[in-house]
């Protein structure tokens, strides 16, 4: 059976020694988060994740969700109690606004907790995750009355929330949405249509479910510019806040999936259900994008989270399983064979995983910190820079972390040999669960297109040039540091390659958009590697400052940084070469040649 232990040491190192969140204590939210509070959150969160959520992970996979004849849905045994505990103990709302029942801590403090929950039980964690996203969309786009009606109960986890986007004929292309909203004399709308792949669309965890539904108001414009956003509660809410009539929709079925069996993926049939318009008519995508960008960072983190738990189990297995002898001579002569961790190729896989998870954690937390600074910094320039960084890097976090996180989980399975392929060990579940993260909230191909098509060009390239500046400033300001030199050189090398690829795209992607599309995947990979190089150099810098004094943590960190630069970063070269070939051979064949 799999196990999970929160990597608290690494989390604290990142928050305090790399990101130095202690230096922001004069800012709102951060002022509510002195170190003892943060450490209590981390440590309490670790117990909740590993003692409450993790034991339900395999159960959720085995039992899955069940749709009953009355169209209700039963989640796996124990999920309901765990959800209630999460809500009752205040874990749901760590970084939510105190006005709506939250504790108002910075996002960068809540993200380690979210990582832990996702490592411990990804399928479960999607229920609160989507609830938070839906609540934030209402917070951004809803009326005061809507906020008052829904937010506290959603933020605290008394009610759940969902996103209803996809329909059978449209996933990526939401302009094709057919679900219809007919205005009623009382200002509400009747919603009719079918939504599919709705995570948590129906469940037995909460007494109410607040569906956020994209639909087209009758007579509105065609395409994406005619899409509006609606709140469609499972039970209508009376003026006094009590629950009223059951709304007119049903769960029509559950998808059978490769993984995340503990999460109910619903077909939702709306049959004249009562909906409340969020924001302006036909402008629903704007608010939905707030939610989606949030969600994309969360999905990136799922890539990290599954990689982390898979890595931990692989490391245990590598230390425990004895098989063969070290090629440099027996290391455990008292045993019938050496533990397989002595074999360099096993070590290679473990180092790949360690270099990924620790790099990904730094990248995720750093991006989350930008989200905080964007909101709370008193300096408009800092806010702009923070927003630019977060906007630019969101598709990179989502796609790069889920691509490589899946690879990492898959390597963890590989390290287990045949044992990994059997269900009892639990590691193949990580692979199946992690697999969805490359797809939902916009496939990784869509993320790459978002990066090259929108994010690079926005504001005349302001964000990407500022990011190059971040990198180059790091390089120049650490130029004289001898110990840091190999890491700084790695950042400089990667930065040069990323700039070269960016220039190539600017010169060739505008004259032929297919060049941009054909190179987008490799460009995003190169971007992710460069961001990781930056994160690893930052970590190395912090480790160099703190090492000595007999704490091996910092030496291990430096050795892992070295591994990243020697053994992971070289991929950048081949991605650059691929970027620069453009669309020619990619688009050469006619469609029926495949």
* The 3-state secondary structure of 127-175, one letter per residue: HHHHHHHHHHHHHHHCCHHHHHHHHHHHHCCCCEEEEECCECCECCCHH
Per the listing, tokens 């009610």 go with: 159
Closest to 403 (Cα-Cα) out of 289, 528, 258 = 528
Of 68 and 169, CB closest to its own copies: 169
197: DSSP letter: E
Q: How far is the CB of 307 from its own copies (least distance, A)?
A: 13
Of 125 and 263, CB closest to its own copies: 263
Q: How far is the CB of 417 from its own copies (least distance, A)?
A: 5
Under a CB-based contact definition with an 8 Å cutoff, are residues 163 and 187 in contact?
A: no
Q: Is 370 helix (H, G, I), strand (E, B) or coil?
A: helix
Closest to 544 (Cα-Cα) out of 476, 494, 470, 486 = 486
DSSP assignment of 546-571 equals H--TT-HHHHHHHHHHHHIIIIITTH
Burial status of residue 344 (CB atoms within 10 A of its CB: 0-12, 13-18, 19 or more): exposed
Q: Is 441 in the active site?
A: yes
Q: How far is the CB of 552 from its own copies (least distance, A)?
A: 7
Q: How far is the CB of 370 from its own copies (least distance, A)?
A: 27
Of 28 and 171, CB closest to its own copies: 171
Q: How far is the CB of 249 from its own copies (least distance, A)?
A: 21
Q: Which long-range contacts (CB under 8 A, 24 or more apart) does 541-547 make?
A: 541/478, 541/481, 541/484, 541/487, 542/13, 542/17, 542/18, 544/481, 544/483, 544/484, 545/17, 546/17
Of 327 and 380, CB closest to its own copies: 327
Of 31 and 323, CB closest to its own copies: 323
Q: How far is the CB of 516 from its own copies (least distance, A)?
A: 7
Q: Which long-range contacts (CB under 8 A, 24 or more apart) does 575-580 make?
A: 575/501, 575/522, 575/523, 575/525, 575/526, 575/529, 576/497, 576/500, 576/501, 576/522, 576/526, 578/519, 578/522, 579/501, 579/504, 579/505, 579/519, 579/522, 579/523, 579/526, 580/501, 580/504, 580/519
Of 377 and 581, CB closest to its own copies: 581
Pairing of strands 209-217, 180-183: parallel
Q: How far is the CB of 8 from its own copies (least distance, A)?
A: 16
Q: Which one is catalytic: 167, 294, 358, 441? A: 441
Of 68 and 574, CB closest to its own copies: 574
Residues designated catalytic: 441
């Amino acid at each position: 059976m799999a196990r999970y232990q929160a990597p608290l040491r690494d989390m604290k190192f990142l928050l305090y020694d790399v990101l130095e969140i202690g230096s922001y204590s004069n800012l709102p939210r951060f002022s509510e988060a002195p170190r003892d509070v943060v450490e209590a959150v981390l440590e309490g969160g670790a117990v909740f994740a590993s003692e409450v959520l993790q034991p339900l992970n395999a159960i959720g996979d085995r039992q899955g969700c069940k749709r009953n004849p009355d169209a209700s849905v039963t989640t796996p045994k124990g999920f309901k109690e765990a959800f209630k505990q999460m809500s009752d103990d205040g874990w749901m709302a760590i970084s939510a606004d105190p006005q709506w029942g939250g504790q108002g801590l910075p996002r960068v403090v809540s993200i380690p907790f979210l990582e832990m929950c996702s490592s411990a039980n990804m399928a479960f964690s999607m229920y609160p995750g989507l609830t938070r996203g839906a609540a934030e969309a209402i917070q951004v786009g809803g009326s005061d009355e809507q906020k008052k009606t829904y937010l506290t109960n959603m933020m605290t986890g008394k009610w759940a929330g969902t996103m209803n986007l996809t329909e059978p004929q449209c996933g990526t292309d939401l302009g094709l949405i057919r679900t219809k909203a007919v205005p009623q004399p009382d200002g509400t709308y009747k919603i009719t249509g079918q939504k599919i792949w709705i995570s948590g669309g129906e469940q037995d965890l909460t007494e109410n479910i607040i569906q956020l539904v994209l639909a087209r108001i009758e007579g509105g414009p065609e395409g994406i510019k005619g899409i509006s956003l609606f709140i469609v509660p499972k039970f209508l809410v009376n003026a006094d806040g009590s629950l009223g009539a059951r709304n007119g929709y049903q769960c029509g079925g559950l998808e059978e999936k490769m993984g995340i069996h503990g999460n109910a993926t619903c077909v939702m049939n709306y049959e004249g259900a009562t909906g409340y318009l969020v924001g302006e008519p036909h402008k629903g995508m704007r608010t939905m994008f707030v939610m989606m960008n949030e969600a994309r960072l969360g999905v990136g983190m799922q890539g990290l989270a599954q990689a982390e738990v898979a890595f931990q189990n692989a490391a245990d297995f590598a230390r425990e399983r004895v098989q063969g002898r070290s090629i440099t001579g027996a290391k455990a002569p008292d045993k019938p064979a050496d533990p397989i961790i002595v074999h360099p190729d096993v070590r290679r896989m473990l180092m790949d995983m360690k270099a990924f998870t620790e790099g990904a954690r730094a990248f995720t937390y750093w991006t989350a910190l930008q989200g905080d600074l964007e909101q709370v910094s008193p300096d408009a320039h800092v806010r702009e820079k923070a927003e630019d960084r977060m906007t630019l890097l969101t598709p990179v976090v989502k796609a790069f972390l889920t691509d490589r996180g899946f690879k990492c989980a898959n390597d963890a399975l590989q390290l287990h040999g045949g044992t990994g392929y059997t269900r009892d060990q639990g590691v193949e579940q990580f692979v199946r669960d992690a697999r969805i993260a490359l797809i939902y909230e916009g496939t990784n191909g869509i993320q790459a297109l978002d990066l090259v098509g929108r994010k690079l060009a926005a504001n005349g390239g302001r964000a990407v040039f500022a990011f190059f500046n971040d990198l180059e400033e790091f390089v120049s300001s650490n130029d004289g540091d001898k110990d840091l030199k190999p890491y700084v050189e790695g950042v400089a090398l990667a930065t040069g390659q990323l700039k070269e690829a960016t220039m190539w795209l600017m010169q060739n992607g505008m004259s032929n958009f297919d060049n941009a599309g054909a190179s987008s995947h490799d460009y995003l990979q190169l971007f992710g590697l460069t961001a990781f190089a930056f994160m690893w150099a930052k970590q190395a810098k912090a480790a160099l400052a703190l090492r000595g004094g007999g704490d091996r943590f910092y030496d291990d960190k430096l050795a892992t940084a070295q591994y990243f630069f020697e053994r992971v970063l070289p991929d950048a070269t081949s991605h650059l070469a691929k970027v620069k070939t453009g669309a020619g051979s990619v688009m050469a064949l006619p469609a029926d040649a495949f």
